[in-house]
Amino acid sequence: MPDRASKPVHAFTGGFLGPGQTACRIRRIMALSGYPLRAGWPDARGRIAVWGRAAHAARGEWVSRNTGAALIRVEDAFLRSLFPGRAGEPPLGLLIDETGIHFDPSRPSDLETLLATHPFDDHALMERARLGMTRLKHGQFSKYAAHDPDLKAPAPGYVLVVDQVRGDASLRHGGLNGSLSKHLFQDMLVQAQLDFPGTRIVIRAHPENITGHRAGHFGPEHAQGNHITLLTKNVSAWELLEGALAVYTVSSQLGFEAIFAGHRPRVWGLPFYAGWGLSEDQTPHPRRGRRLTRAQLFAGAMLLYPRWYDPCRDRLCSFEDALNHLEALRRAWRDDRHGYTALDMRLWKRAHLQAFFGRWKPLRFASTPSNSQPNLIWGAAPHPPAPHVIRIEDGFLRSRGLGAALTPPLSLITDDLGLYFDPTGPSRLEALIAAPLPPGGAERASALRAQILAHRLSKYNLQATLPDLPKGHRILVPGQVEDDASIRLGTTRIRTNLDLLRVTRAQNPDAVILYKPHPDVEAGLRPGAVDLVQALRFADTVLHQTDPAQLLDHVQEVWTMTSTLGLEALLRNVPVTTHGAPFYAGWGLTRDLGAIPDRRRARPDLNAFIHATLIAYPRYCDPITRLPCAPEVAVELLASGQTNRPPYLRMLAKLQGALAAQAHLWRR
C-alpha cells in the first residue's frame, strides 16, 4: 500500500486552507490520517479533497474530471462538537471517504461498503459498540452536545417529526436519482397524522434553525394548537426520543440516534442508516440487502469509519477518547455558561481560574457577592451572605509542585453543597460516591488507576530518592498542615501531628513507624512542624522530602488524620486507619477511629470510589491548549512533566521561599 503521507492532497477552497480554527483542525486531522493538504494543481496521480457535496465542491470535482486526480470527500463525524459548525467550533472528527459520501445513496460510499462487507465478528469490537451506545444514551450526547439541561421535553406520548435545514447537501443529494423533493417534509407530516390520528405531533427544529444560522422546512404556520407543536428550544435529543411513540424523518441524523434509543424510525429519504433492516423505509434501497444489528451499525458508523481527534493530545484517537474529551468540554460549558463572580481570589490564582471557569463567559473578580450569578469561594473562606455559592479547591491529582509554591493546578473541584474535607455537612462528592456508576465507569476507573500506578503519581508529584527503610511491619504516618481546614473541620480528638504519632505508637508498639512531614511544612510555608527529637520518641525514622508514590509501595499500613495520602494508599491497596473523617472514610474502604457522619452509608467498591473522586468530581484543564480535558490526559501530562508554570510564578515562588515568614503576602 503506498505511503499516503508522500502524496499530498490538493484543495481549492478556503474551508480547507483558511486561517480559522475549524480549517486548522480539519488540516490537522487530515494530515494525521495520511492526507496532508496543500494548494496547487494535481496531476493524474494526485488527489483532491472536497467538502462533501457542498456548492464549492464543484471546483474540485471539475479539476478531478479534467486531470484524472482521485476525489476524496470529507465531512464532519457523527459526534461533532458542542455547537454546529457555523457557530465556529472545530470538529472532533472527520469522515474521509475515497469512493463517495455517506449521505449520497446514488453510489456506494466507504461507509456503505464497510457496513455491507465487514464481518462484525470481533467480540471486543461489539462490546465497545454496545457500551458506546449506552454511554451516548446515558450522557445524552448527540451530534451537537450542548443542549440546555434546564429545558425539558414535552410530556411523553407524541409522534416526533424531525425537520432539517433547507438546501442541505444531504437533501440535494439524498435520493437515488439526486435530490429529495422539498414536499417530502409536508408529506411526512401528513402521514404521521394519518398513522396516529388524534395523537400529538411534535416537530423538532434543526439545531442550526434554533440558533438562527439556517432555515428549516417547518415554521409557526405548521403549528395547530396543542395538536401540532413546533419545538424550537434546545432540548436533549435523547429526552425527545424517550418520550416519542414514533419517529418520522427524511434523512436526519436524529433517525440514526433514534435506532439506538429503541425506535424503528420511519424514513422518507435514503440516509446511511436506512436499508439495513433497522428502519421503516419509504424507498427500498437497491444495494443494501444485509440485515444489521444496532451494535453492528454503531460499530461501523461510530468506531470504524470516522477519524477521531483528541485536541489535548494532538493525535488521532478512539471514539472513547473523543467522547471523554467531549464529556469534559460539555461539563465545563454547562457549569460555566452563565458566568461567575469570583470572590476575594488571590492575585496569583486568577489567571488559571480564568482558564478553568472563564472559557464561555469571563470571570468577574470582586469582593462583593453577586445576586445574579453563582459566586466562587476558595475553600472554606468566610463570605458575606450570597444566594448561590460554589466552593472550589485543588483536585486530588493537582500538579508537579506545591500549591503553596504557586504551582498552578491541573485539576480543581467545585462543590455547590459543601466541601469534600468538611464532614460537618454533605458535599457533592458524598452524593457522587453514593450514586450508581455510569455505563463503563468501573472499567474507566480501573484503567485510570492502573495509569496512575504505572507512572507513580501522587497529588503533588514531588519526585525524590527513596532512602533505605528499617525492616519490619511499616506504618506510614503522613504529617499535615495543622491549620488546614480538613483538620479544623474533620477531626475532633487527634488534631496535631505529634498527637497522631503518639497514638499510632501506642496502638502499634512493635511496628516500624515512618513519619513523613507535609511538603508545605518542610518548605517552611505552612505550620505543623514537629521537633525532630519529639518525633523520634514515637517514630523510627523521619522521612524528609520523600516521594509518597514510591514510599507507599514499601509500607504495610497508613495511619492518618485526614491526609489525602490516604486516598493514594487506597489506590495501591494499602490499608488505611483514620483518626478523623476524611472524604474517603466511612464507606467501608478504611478502618475508622474518628467520628464518621451517619449519612455515609453507601458501600462502593474501589472502582466506584475512584470514579467519583478522580473522574466525576474534579475538573481538569490542559495548561497547553487551555481546554477542559479528561483525567486521563491530566495523568499523561503529570507523567511527562508538561505542566507549564508561567515564568512570573516561578520567580514569585523563589521570592516567597526567601521570605517564607511573610508567605501570606504572596499568597493573597
How far CA 636 is from CA of 22, 440, 455, 648, in Å, comes to 26, 21, 9, 25
User: What is the pLDDT, as a whole number, of residue 187?
Assistant: 94
Task: Pull the grid cell for residue 484.
Answer: 488546614
Task: Report the phi/psi class of residue 459: left, alpha or beta, with left for phi > 0 and alpha for psi in -120 to 50.
Answer: alpha
* CA–CA gap between residue 548 and residue 460 (Å, rounded): 9
* 346-359: average pLDDT: 93
Does residue 113 carry a pLDDT above 50?
Answer: yes
* CA–CA gap between residue 212 and residue 376 (Å, rounded): 33
Taking only the tens place, the pLDDT of each residue in 393-411 is 999 998 876 655 567 889 9
Strands 228-231 and 201-204, sheet pairing: parallel
Domain ranges of the chain: 144-304, 339-394, 434-653
* CA–CA gap between residue 506 and residue 53 (Å, rounded): 78
* 536-547: average pLDDT: 92
* CA–CA gap between residue 323 and residue 337 (Å, rounded): 20
* CA–CA gap between residue 601 and residue 616 (Å, rounded): 20
* CA–CA gap between residue 575 and residue 508 (Å, rounded): 14
* 404-432: average pLDDT: 91
Instruction: Let me know how long the chain is.
Output: 668
Instruction: Judge contact between 42 and 78, C-beta under 8 A.
Output: no
User: What is the pLDDT, as a whole number, of residue 213?
Assistant: 79
Nearest to 420 by CA among 380, 372, 476, 477: 380
By CB atoms closer than 10 A (0-12, 13-18, 19+), residue 465 is exposed
* CA–CA gap between residue 534 and residue 32 (Å, rounded): 60
* CA–CA gap between residue 318 and residue 320 (Å, rounded): 5
Does residue 654 carry a pLDDT above 60?
Answer: no
Does residue 352 carry a pLDDT above 70?
Answer: yes
What DSSP designation does 66 have?
A: H
* 345-364: average pLDDT: 94
* CA–CA gap between residue 626 and residue 452 (Å, rounded): 22
Does residue 524 carry a pLDDT above 90?
Answer: no
* 223-238: average pLDDT: 93
Does residue 644 carry a pLDDT above 60?
Answer: no
Task: Pull the grid cell for residue 213.
Answer: 444560522
Please give the helix or strand (H or E) that residue 652 lies within, else none.
helix 647-658
402 contact partners, CB below 8 Å, separation of at least 6: 460, 462, 519, 520, 523, 525
Q: Which amino acid, one-letter code, is at 453?
A: L
Q: Does domain 434-653 have CATH number 3.40.50?
A: yes
What DSSP designation does 493 have?
A: S
Per-residue buried b or exposed e for 356-369, using 16+ beta carbons within 10 Å of the residue's own CB: bbbbeeebebeeeb
Which of the four pLDDT bands, split at 50, 70 and 90, describes residue 120?
very high
Task: Pull the grid cell for residue 596.
Answer: 464518621
- Decide whether 144-304 matches 434-653 in CATH topology: yes
* Distance spanning both ends of the chain, measured CA to CA: 61
Nearest to 349 by CA among 411, 419, 406, 410: 406
3-state DSSP helix/strand/coil percent for the chain, to nearest 5?
Answer: 35, 15, 50
Query: What topology is assigned to 144-304 in CATH?
Result: Rossmann fold (3.40.50)
* CA–CA gap between residue 502 and residue 521 (Å, rounded): 19
Task: Pull the grid cell for residue 18.
Answer: 483558511
Task: Report the phi/psi class of residue 456: left, alpha or beta, with left for phi > 0 and alpha for psi in -120 to 50.
Answer: left
Strands 618-621 and 411-415, sheet pairing: antiparallel
Q: Cell 509518597, residue?
A: 548
Q: Which amino acid, one-letter code, is at 125?
A: L
* 330-340: average pLDDT: 96
Does residue 225 carry a pLDDT above 90?
Answer: no
Hey, what's the torsion of the CAs at 74, 77, 83, 87, to 10 degrees?
Answer: 0
Taking only the tens place, the pLDDT of each residue in 588-625 is 999 999 999 999 999 999 999 999 999 999 999 999 99
Task: Pull the grid cell for residue 540.
Answer: 523510627
Average pLDDT of the chain, as a whole number: 91
Instruction: Judge contact between 361 and 337, C-beta under 8 A.
Output: yes
Instruction: Judge contact between 378 and 352, C-beta under 8 A.
Output: no
User: What is the pLDDT, as a whole number, of residue 522?
Assistant: 80
* CA–CA gap between residue 64 and residue 62 (Å, rounded): 5
User: What is the pLDDT, as a whole number, of residue 492?
Assistant: 87
